[in-house]
Amino acid sequence: MRNTPRYDPETGEWKYGGKRMMTKFENFERAFDGHVGSCSATCACGRVFYNPDRSWDFEENELEDLEKDPNATGLDYAVSFVEFEGQTNVMACDCWHNRAKQIMGFLDSHANKIAEYLKLEKERKTQEAENSPVV
């Protein structure tokens, strides 16, 4: 019997083989996540995010200043971010979610061409490696 995705009305989630399926956005973030966490970070849009539970990472009075800052948002987990197109975006920020949707749209609309490009690049790099002198 073949596994097929099934909707679970109790949880409101799609499942495959009994496990919750990742959303498209979750897959995108998982692929591009820098896997770096911090006690605070400033997003490309200027918003500041911080984790007050990790106060040992803060300079003197830094946490107190962040808690007073209306532009700063406290999180209950380490601040993670992604570097994309030369910008640092905090993954919890709405501006990153909007940008990620644009990027996913580009990737999806050009998926076949991107796959072909990656295939051609693999061939080129393999040939380049084969032609390299042995040291």
Q: Read off the pLDDT of residues 57-76 as tens digits, 9 standing for 90 and up.
A: 788 899 999 999 999 999 99
Is the per-residue pLDDT at 2 higher than 80? no
Q: Would residue 16 count as lying in a domain?
A: no
pTM over 0.75: no
pLDDT digits (tens, 9 = 90+) for 33-59: 888 888 999 999 999 999 998 666 788
Q: Looking at the domain assignment, is residue 49 inside a domain?
A: yes
Q: Are 35 and 78 in contact (CB under 8 A)?
A: no
- Count of domains for the chain: 1
Answer whether residue 1 shows pLDDT above 70.
Answer: no
What is the average per-residue pLDDT within 5-19?
A: 71
Residue 53 lies in a domain: yes
Residue with tokens 């991107």: 114
Domain residues for the domain of 62 are: 33-130
pLDDT one-digit tens code per residue, 72-98:
999 999 999 898 888 999 999 999 999
Supply φ then ψ for residue 131, to 5 degrees. Answer: -90, -5
